[in-house]
Amino acid sequence: MLARTTPLAPFALCLALACGTTAEPAADSGSTSDDSATTASSTSSASASASASASDDAGSTGTMTTASTAADGSSGTDDGSSGDSGPVGGGECDPFAQDCPEGTKCMPWADDGGGAWNANKCVPVVDGGGQPGDPCNVEGSGVSGVDDCDLGSMCYNVDATTNMGTCYELCSGSPAAPTCPQTNGVCAIYNDGVLPLCLTACDPITQDCPGSQQLCVASPANDGFVCILDSLPGSAGGYGAPCEFANACDPGYFCTPMSFVPGCTNGGGCCTGFCDLDAADPDAQCEGQDGGQICQPWWNGEPAAPGFEHVGYCGLPA
């Protein structure tokens, strides 16, 4: 599952690999893949009062942090993952700089034996390694860090029954100026800089991601929207459903602090919908309208990302 990113408050949340047998872009989905989690910090466009409200409701499920507008999931925090010295995330190398010895590459992995990418390490690059979009294989599990993708790519969306996934481009440049030169994708930086992935841009209103199991949610820096895999396709992730991860809600919904969803009692948050500000009656799109929800600008007075001026969310007024 992916980390929750909302216009309401800058959460540090989790991306989890859910189960699925298809090798589509983004986090794994279904019940057969590795149960891996990823944390992300996102920049919010909400007012200070909305942020404070969301912070009160966050409970113990996530840490409220602030990220830079350059999509650095950890910039502005005290986790030591930002700046120009040392690795971006935890571990022995920098996935942006790919500063490992010749013949090896810097890869995200779980250094504690768990299911979350929490560090980086140097691993051998195989001859003729896969390019972004190619099928791939991992050794051990989806968070082992060992795969057959080429330098600058990692095997992602891994099916645990086959250990097969798809090669994804890792972001280049730096956390302050990330790039995706091979795929021209959007750099989404997760897990305090450990996992910088190049993903596909999308529109959360039309949910125009390719494939039937993908979701369009906010990027970690909240500077646009990216396609991720639905962690629980076909599940009850509609309006008001309890959630903890960004990709635990159904297409058209996202996980938000409980103070914005009438009747939500889950400390991790509940699913609420995106809405189109250009609709004839924007508030009518909100399933919680009877409880006081209204369609509010995603950017909340901040400059909107080009092309996304119409994006809103259904929430209770702050």
| Share above pLDDT 90 across residues of the chain, in percent, rounded to a whole number | 56
Which neighbouring-strand residues pair with 124? Answer: 104
pLDDT at 235 over 60: yes
More confident of the two residues 306 and 17: 306
DSSP 308: -
Question: pLDDT tens across 46-72, in order?
Answer: 322 233 333 333 222 222 222 222 222
Specify the pLDDT at position 248. 84
Identify the pLDDT of residue 286.
98
User: Which two tokens mark 236?
Assistant: 């009850």
Contact of 118 with 90, CB cutoff 8 Å: yes
At 170-222, the pLDDT tens digits run 999 999 999 999 999 999 998 889 999 999 999 999 999 987 778 999 988 77
Task: Please tell me the distance from the alpha carbon of residue 213 to that of residue 28, in angstroms, as a whole number.
Answer: 10
Residue 244: which pLDDT band, with cuts at 50, 70 and 90? confident
By the 10 Å C-beta count (0-12 exposed, 13-18 middle, 19+ buried), 258 is classed as buried
pLDDT value of position 64: 20
CB atoms within 10 A of CB 301: 9
Do residues 18 and 30 lie in contact, with contact meaning Cβ atoms separated by under 8 Å? yes
Give dist(CA 150, CA 91) in Å, integer.
20
What phi and psi values does residue 100 have, to the nearest 5 degrees?
-75, 165
The whole-model pTM stands at: 0.69
Amino acid at site 57: D
Mean of per-residue pLDDT scores for the chain: 75
Q: What pLDDT score was predicted for residue 174?
A: 94
Per-residue pLDDT band at 88 (split at 50, 70, 90): low
Residue 114 CB neighbours (<10 A) = 12
